[in-house]
Structure 1
Amino acid sequence: MASKFSHLPDISTIQPDRLIKYRVSEDRFSAEVLLPGLSYTDFDQKIGGKMNLWSMAKLFECIRYAVLPYGFGHFDMLKDDEHSIFMASTAYHVTDNGNSLNSRPHWGLNFPMYTTLNIIYAGSSAFSFEIKLTNFDTSEILMTAEMTFVYIDYNTRRPAPFPAWYEEAKNKKKFGPALPRLPTLEIPQNAFQYEVHSNYSDIDHNGHVNQSIYVKWCTDAGTEAALKGLYSGFIDNIGKYPLDSLEIKYIGEGMVDEQFAVNTWQDKDSPLVLHFAVTKQKKLTIVAKFTYKASELGSRL
């Protein structure tokens, strides 16, 4: 990544008229973004001023759409009236520095964050990229994310093969293997079930429930389960506990004005792991896995 931009000026000196600064590599398989800081509304005073988990998901959405329309991953040419990309899976990893983000020192224009984006896999109808989020001033890693998107035909709502020109472009590069996907576990009979309804504000530009909304639903369901004493160690809002990773696999589409059930249970082998399965009319929409760090806050785990 560094070699593609090392010959260019420091990103903080470019685009003086923009708060969010960005650039895309010549081959369009890498990009970098400089964010001015976090919003006050990204944090929740009920959990000690920590960052909401769904705000983390929206933050990475902001990062990728700062560069996708400007050529990253050739998205500007892939998306047309008949095609788009749908998220298939994502995994967020949070460092100790990321878990320490707090509303008092870390919101506003005094906490710039630098991000790098790299396409790490490209198949016949899907590609994956890694986003690394760092503290711009110290270079400390805050969070990373690996995301897989599928090229979709709007008419069939099914994966479509990439165009020939994209195949030619990606064949000039060397990529890694496809990312592993979260396994689909059977929902235990004793799983806690939390009912939710999709509203218009939950829907994204592709017409289905936004990925951050699923994170919010799982957080709400997990918190209610914890408050009811259904987990062996979590006894409070699960957003308070230091997160290690959050993995989601998208299986079906959720639309507006639909009823969903969020099923959650604690992993039988590790109390630090919480599982979620969102269903619509008993059919899976997403599965998710929240893995937490052992810490003083999570000492009951």
Structure 2
Amino acid sequence: MDSSDDSRLLENQKGKRSNGGHQTALSVSSHHAQVLLRGIPLGYIDRTGHLSVWNASKLITETISIMNQRGFYHNKDVGNETRRLFLGRQKLVFSPRLHSDISKIMDTNILVNATPGKVGKSSKTMNMKITDESGVMLIKGTFTAILFDTETKRAVPFPKWYVEKFNSTLSYDDNGHIQAKNDVPSYAYKTQLKVRHSDMDSNMHVSNTEYLRYCMETATDASLSGYYNKYRRDMCWYPLLELDISYLAESRAGEMLDIYTWQDQNDIHFIYFAIHRDGTAIAVAAFEFGFDEVTSSNL
């Protein structure tokens, strides 16, 4: 589907609503999904007047849920009561316009397109592109999901029919150039937090989006304390250009987490995070920040 087709779909959908929500599935098949977002809800805007990264991720998660309910990638068919798909990694590249022009973007139609990526033995990828109503890219995303047995606590292989159905789809569309790191340097900045009950998702684990919030909260603590080079304000004021986060294990309400952050010694725009529980990493991430609202990105 080209940009002219997208524009016609957006024009046809203007003024229409589906079940009173701000998201409408325009077309969904096993190999492609397209969802219309009627702007960005005001509640997703952070304390600085910008779209927070954790709410951007939440918006994506909600959109993927709509796609899955309608048969995209056969995500509903591949699991059962004990075998479920869990997000293992997400890489997002953001247009600086999401930071500088959010007051305009939040009131416009936004189009989300998703396609299958690469299916392996027990993991698979998905590609996503989010554009404004004129077709200008806002976010590019690649996501890795793992089929997991909740009883054995191990990854399990996809059914043969599933691998065969998607073995000729698109390969992994990696648009990013940063990568999370597992090794925490001795000079890393450290904070601690106690997981709240409100941080849980329906699986009674910390929501994927909350880990991004933990990273941003820690980054702001570090920045305001003078730990980072050049960054001295609440980190929500700076444009986030790219992120890479890997989810390694689960955490639950009441647990204490240690969150580490440090800055790349060669490129100060790159800031890393590691979230530990009892000395073991449960998530690692890398963020690329800009300094102002005209910073360039990969989009």
Normalising by structure 2, report the TM-score: 0.88
Q: Which amino acid in 1 is paired with 2:44?
A: D
Which residue identity does 2:53 align to in structure 1?
Answer: L
Asked whether the 8 Å contact 1:122–1:175 carries over to 2, the reply is: no
Verify the 8 A CA contact 1:24 1:67 in the aligned structure 2. Answer: no
Number of the residue aligned with 1:175: 170
C-alpha deviation, 1:140, in angstroms: 1.3
C-alpha deviation, 1:101, in angstroms:
3.9
1:92-126 superposed Cα distances (whole Å, 9 cap, x missing partner): 11112222243x4444xx42111100112111211
C-alpha distance in structure 1 between counterparts of 2:151 and 2:84, whole Å: 11
**Secondary structure of 2:77's match?**
helix
Local SS of the residue matching 1:189 = coil
Q: Describe the superposition over 1:60-113 as per-residue Cα deviations: whole angstroms up to 9, x where unpaired.
A: 1111111112111101111321111111110111112222243x4444xx4211
Report what 1:32 is aligned to: 34
Once the two structures are superposed, residues 162-211 of structure 1 have per-residue CA deviations (whole angstroms, 9 ceiling, x without a partner) of: 1122123123x233158699453321112111111111211112221111
The CA deviation at 1:255 is 1.6
Q: What is aligned with 1:271?
A: 268
1:41 aligns with 2:43: yes
Contact residue 12 and residue 34 of structure 1 kept, 8 A: no
Which of 152, 159, 164 is the aligned partner of 1:163?
Answer: 159
Runs (5+) with no aligned partner, structure 1: none
Contact 2:28 2:70 in 1 (8 A): no
TM-score, length of structure 1 as denominator length: 0.87
Deviation at 1:139, TM superposition (A): 1.3
CA contact (8 A) 1:24 1:71 kept: no
Separation (CA, whole Å) in 1 of partners of 2:116 and 2:51: 27
Amino acid at match of 1:149: A
Return 5+ residue gaps in structure 2 as ranges. none
Query: What's 1:285 paired with?
Result: 282
Do the aligned residues in 1 keep the contact of 2:180 with 2:245 (CA within 8 Å)? no
Q: Which amino acid aligns with 1:76?
A: K
Deviating runs (4+, > 6 A) in structure 1? none
The equivalent residue for 1:21 is 24
Alpha-carbon separation, structure 2, partners of 1:74 and 1:11: 26
Q: Is the 8 A contact 2:105 2:132 kept in 1?
A: no
Equivalences for 1:114-133 in 2 at 5 Å? 114-133=111-130
1:235-282 deviation per Cα after TM superposition (whole angstroms, max 9, x unaligned): 011111111101101111112211101101111111111110000001
Matches of 2:143 and 2:270, distance apart in 1: 21
Which amino acid in the other structure matches residue 24 of structure 2?
K
